[in-house]
Copies of this chain bind each other. A is one copy, B any other.
Amino acid sequence: MTAAPGLTKNQSLVFDVLSRSDAPLSAYTILDKLRDHGFRAPLQVYRALDKLLERGMVHRLESLNAFVACAHQEKECCGGHGHGTVAFAICESCGHVVEFHEHAVDHRLDDWARERKFKPAKTTIEIRGLCEQCAA
């Protein structure tokens, strides 16, 4: 369960906490979980998150102001963490999040951008609703 190489101690701690959680965590929640490991200030979390986001190991859920570990392993399909756009289905009842990739969606949005000469940097797709269990 230990994290990828090349991570600093703080980055590893933050990544491990996210990896072990089955729901997204806010930066402040992460902070609380790491107080026993010497974390004292939000910046320690945010700085680690920035690096993990850069590497694609963690995603930010914009509609929740929260973070999740990437569901993909280093070498998986679309280039592992190097993948393209990621989409999320977020259950508003149980908090569970499913990460997925829809190439057809990506392509359609790419086409839209190309037609308008818009240069995409980052695309957010988040579906909030109820998962199968919670909708029952």
Give chain A's interface residues, CB within 8 Å of chain B: 62-63, 87, 89, 91-92, 98, 100, 102, 104-105, 108-109, 112-113, 116-132, 135
Give the complex CA separation of A62 and B108 in angstroms.
21
B112-A102 in contact (CB<8A): yes
A132 touches B105 (CB 8 A): no
**Bound form: Cα–Cα A129–B127 in Å:** 21
Q: Chain B residues with Cβ under 8 A from A87's Cβ?
A: 109
8 smallest beta-carbon distances between A and B, as pairs: A117-B132, A120-B129, A62-B62, A121-B129, A62-B63, A119-B130, A124-B126, A119-B135
User: A104 CB to closest chain B CB, in angstroms?
Assistant: 5
Interchain CA distance A121-B92 in the complex, whole Å: 9
Q: Are the C-beta atoms of A127 and B116 separated by less than 8 Å?
A: no
CA–CA, A98 to B108, complex, Å? 16
Separation of A127 and B121 alpha carbons in the complex (Å): 7
Q: Is the CB of A62 within 8 A of B126?
A: yes
A71 to chain B, nearest CB (A): 14
